[in-house]
Amino acid sequence: MKLTIFAATGGVGGQLLTQALDAGHEVTAVVRNPSKISRKEVRVVTADLAAPDRGALESAVDGADAVLSGLGPRSSSEAGIAWRGTQAIVNAMQATSARRLVVISAAPVGTVPSPARPNPPKFDPGDGAFLRHVVYPILKTLLRKYYVDLAQMEDIVRESSLDWTVVRPPQLTDKPLTGSYRVAFEQNLPRGLHISRADVAHFMLRALERADTSRRVVAIAD
């Protein structure tokens, strides 16, 4: 397949790039710093999604069989990059022939208010008492701007006309690829505390071949 990967030098994005190339896909990588791309078989498009160039993004996604995004804020100061960057990606896809989009979000986001979902469920049905009452309240306080950004990003994706999938992992690790993990639709996974970036990327690529992930939110965890 012809794939376009955004944030292709990040934690998940880098795994997407490596696994997609190793699987024989034709890849366009959209990055801020092209010097971080070492694979010679990659078409590289330089773009800063904090100040997107419409022409560059349309060129990057035009003709792609699928677009995958590892975009997300790396710190509180970058909050807003996910929804603004994703809006630019969606606009570029809607202006071209690209239709399939897979993005990464986060497990707590289903209970975070957003403009399109001002009154989300108080608890995710897949979360146990420890996550509901201890872990996620702390995380939502410490990472409030991060999760609000991702919640707004999900709004943009859901409201688009694209064939989308939102992937919500819990805490990400740098453990190696296993290809062995659990998934659930529209709710978190019981005792789903961790997942490696490599396994998240593996599922995002597999989702392209799964019709049941179309226009769905999918949780993933070890």
Residue range 133-181, pLDDT digits in tens: 888 888 888 888 999 999 999 999 999 999 999 999 999 999 999 999 9
Question: Is 207:167 a contact under the CB 8 Å cutoff?
Answer: yes
Domain count, the chain: 1
State the average pLDDT for the chain: 94
Mean pLDDT of 40-58: 93
Poorest-confidence range of 2-6, 56-60, 126-130? 126-130
Question: Is 70:12 a contact under the CB 8 Å cutoff?
Answer: yes
pLDDT of residue 74: 73
CA distance 70 to 45: 15
Whether residue 77 is predicted with pLDDT greater than 80 in this model: the reply is: no
Which residue reads 């990588």 in tokens?
Answer: 29
Q: How confident is the model at residue 125 (pLDDT cuts 50, 70, 90)?
A: very high
Q: How confident is the model at residue 130 (pLDDT cuts 50, 70, 90)?
A: confident
CA distance 61 to 56: 9
pLDDT of residue 6: 97
Amino acid at 192: G
137 or 60, which is more confident: 60
CA distance 217 to 204: 12
Contacts with 40 (C-beta within 8 Å, 6 or more apart), sequence order: none
Q: Tell me: the pLDDT tens digits for 62-73?
A: 999 999 999 987
Q: What is the CATH number of the domain that holds 20?
A: 3.40.50.720
| C-alpha dist (Å) from residue 118 to 60, 80, 128, 156, 209 | 34, 18, 23, 14, 33
pLDDT of residue 123: 92
Strands of 47-140, DSSP E: 66-69, 100-104
Which residue reads 């992992």 in tokens?
Answer: 169
CB atoms within 10 A of CB 122: 7
Strands of the chain, DSSP E: 2-6, 26-31, 43-46, 66-69, 100-104, 163-168, 171-173, 182-185, 194-196, 216-221
pLDDT of residue 95: 96
pLDDT of residue 68: 98
Question: Is 43:21 a contact under the CB 8 Å cutoff?
Answer: no
| Residue 187 DSSP one-character state | S
The percent of residues above 90 in pLDDT, for the chain, comes to 84
Whether residue 75 is predicted with pLDDT greater than 80 in this model: the reply is: no
pLDDT of residue 61: 98
Encode burial over 144-182: b for 16+ CB neighbours within 10 A, e otherwise.
Answer: eebbbbbbbbbbbbeebebbbbbbbbbebbeeeeeeebe
pLDDT of residue 132: 87
pLDDT of residue 170: 95
22 or 129, which is more confident: 22
Domain span at 99: 2-221
Which residue, 102, 106, 69, is CA-closest to 194?
Answer: 106
Q: Tell me: the pLDDT tens digits for 83-112?
A: 999 999 999 999 998 999 999 999 999 999
